[in-house]
Amino acid sequence: MKARLIAILGALSALLAGDKQADRVVPPTGFTAWLTLFSAGAMAFLAVFSMALSLATDRLADRWGEELARSSTLRISAPEGQLQAQTDAALRVLETTPGVASARALTLQEQQELLEPWFGPDLPIERLPIPRLIEIIETNQGFDTEGLRLRLTAEVPGAVLDDHTRWRRPLVRAASRLRLLGWMSLLLIGGTMAAMITLAANAALSANAQIISVLRLVGATDGYIAQAFVRRFTLRGLIGAAVGTVLGCLAILLLPSTDVAGGFLTGLGFQGWHWLWPLLIPVLAAVVAFGATQLAARGTLRNMA
Amino acid sequence: MIELENAAYSYGGGELLSDISLRLQPGSFHFLTGPSGSGKTTLLKLCYGALIPTAGHVRLFDTDVRALDRDDIALARRRIGVVHQDCQFLDHLTLADNIALPLTVSGRDTINEVANLRELTSWVGLKSRADALPPELSGGERQRAALARAVIMSPDVILADEPTGNVDWEMSQRLLQLLLELNRMGKTIMIATHDLALIRAAKSHVQARVLRISNRRLQLAGADL
């Protein structure tokens, strides 16, 4: 596999270094060359965004997974006077429940902070019948939710267990679906580019049918003739995609920064070494262009005398 | 070198050539004649592998053409110089580049062949036209350039399809001289032509066999020419 990859890369670089004479034998086509460059550029630009989307949802899914995976909340509502007793009872139950790493009642101060966005800082929380919250951190194995619920109803009637997995799961599922869509878009972009280059190469081959037949008559092999076309389209794919990638990365750099707004949309982008990912796009584009033109040229040449 | 054995060719509506047997021996000189449309060009195409016989066998350098793949055909064509009826140049390349085209496509270093190319260009009398584009050339210049391109690879066989088709008598004499000279250098030559005067002119210089296509078959023409 590795040796084959090296062989392909070697062939590619030899191709790009090129044979000037072979290049001259087929006359250059001004207009369609620009179209190919433009398509490659546009596809690369889109690919940068799909890639950013995939990587961002990837991060998002990870974060949700990690932050929410192993925490639940126990809410205790009880009449005045029983609240502390029930809280203590609940903590005792939790301490003896397998799968609970730690359980901690939030302090009044913390509860006030949680409510502050809704009621303002001046709410006299200690005078209101506000339920008590207990934060539960699970171990890796997690606990048996149903079993815990049963024990709690018996011993702490005022307790309600909020299992975060309930609303976390659809979110994580949505995130991974989104990530799948991102990668699928990348595949579709690659396929579309292959299709466009195949069409362009076929057009170029038929436009040059006369030249190809002369070359065959004077003893050119199919490989030689194909190379003249393959080289051109590979270069166009590479250059077009490189420009498109640079523009796409610039567009992503210019997005408003995450810190200011927060949230998912502005989290779209690359972080750290992920910035290396877009470098792959021009290389892949060149490989796609190489393969598409090679196939198109070989196919067309086989049908010529 | 090139051998046809009971070869036949049909374009679909009946056979154009039937039961053709022919051997081109090294150093031989052949004329191929016959009325227009009798299949002279088709026979030449069979000889350089552009067509596969619909019956019988064609052997290029001792290999049946049906056993040759596309690359083998390409390699065989480097050993067979062809002067096509309509010359077949690349119009965007200069005359010199067109003449050197067989070298270019076979991957030979044209830089090393510059002297060779220059000599050949002046041999066909086109030295002053080396930088002209094919559409700027006269009929005779095109025919001579086509001949130069056919011989630049120093092929074993030269096939010429109506090389004097659209040039005047004086020019056709010059082309004939070039072909005779190549024959003296040991090349096998076959010229398709309906110009009987050309054949007569050649016969006084070389032991030429005259083949005539008549009634779909190949016959050895007699001394009546």
Interface probe with B: pick from A218, A227, A304, most Cβ of B within 10 Å = A218
Nearest-5° Cα angle at B142, B132 to B23: 140
B214-224 per-position pLDDT tens digit:
888 888 876 54
The token duo for A38 is: 């433009």
The answer, yes or no, to whether residue B94 has pLDDT greater than 80, is yes
Let me know if B67 is exposed, middle or buried by CB neighbors in 10 A (0-12, 13-18, 19+): exposed
Shortest CA gap B102–chain A (Å): 5
Separation between Cα atoms, residue A122 and residue B5, nearest integer Å: 110
Token look-up 């039961």 returns: B19
Q: What digits encode the pLDDT tens for the residues B177-223?
A: 888 988 999 999 999 998 888 888 888 888 888 999 888 888 887 65
**Considering only alpha carbons, which residue of chain A is nearest residue B84?**
A217
Mean pLDDT of A28-54: 87
With H, G, I as helix, E, B as strand and everything else as coil, classify residue A119. Answer: helix
Residue of A nearest to B149 (CA): A218
Given a cut of 70, whether residue A157 has pLDDT beyond it is yes
Which chain B positions have a beta carbon within 8 Å of A216's beta carbon? 74, 77
The nearest CA of chain B is from the CA of A239 a distance in Å of: 26
| B75 interaction partners in chain A (CB closer than 8 Å) | 219, 221
Taking CA–CA distances from B150, the nearest residue in chain A reads A218
What residues in A contact B110, CB-CB < 8 Å? 21
Please work out, in degrees rounded to the nearest 5, the angle formed at the alpha carbon of residue B11 by the alpha carbons of A297 and B190.
85
d(CA B64, CA B7): 12
Q: How far is B80 from chain A (nearest CA, A)?
A: 9
Determine the Cα–Cα distance for residues B170 and B167; give it in Å rounded to an integer.
8
Chain B residue numbers touching A298 (CB-CB < 8 A): none
C-alpha angle with apex A169: A166 to A172, nearest 5 degrees?
A: 150
> From the centroid of its chain, how far is CA B112?
26
Residue B211, phi then psi, degrees to nearest 5: -105, 140
Q: Do B101 and A25 touch (CB under 8 A)?
A: yes
**Inter-chain CB proximity B101 and A222 less than 8 Å:** no
Q: CA-CA distance, A122 to A116, in Å (whole number)? A: 8
Report all structural domains of chain B as residue ranges with CATH numbers, in order of start: 2-220 (3.40.50.300)
ipTM score above 0.85: yes
- Name the residue type at position B83: V
The sheet that has B2-10: what strands, in order across it? B15-24, B2-10, B55-60, B63-64
Nearest neighbour of A219 by CB, restricted to B77, B88, B89: B77
Q: What pLDDT is attached to residue A265?
A: 52
Note the pLDDT tens digit of each residue in A103-144. 888 887 888 788 887 777 777 777 777 888 888 887 777 778
Chain segment A48-104, per-residue pLDDT in tens: 989 888 888 888 777 776 666 667 888 888 887 788 888 888 888 888 888 888 888
Q: Is B43 exposed, middle or buried, given 0-12, 13-18 or 19+ CB atoms closer than 10 A? A: buried
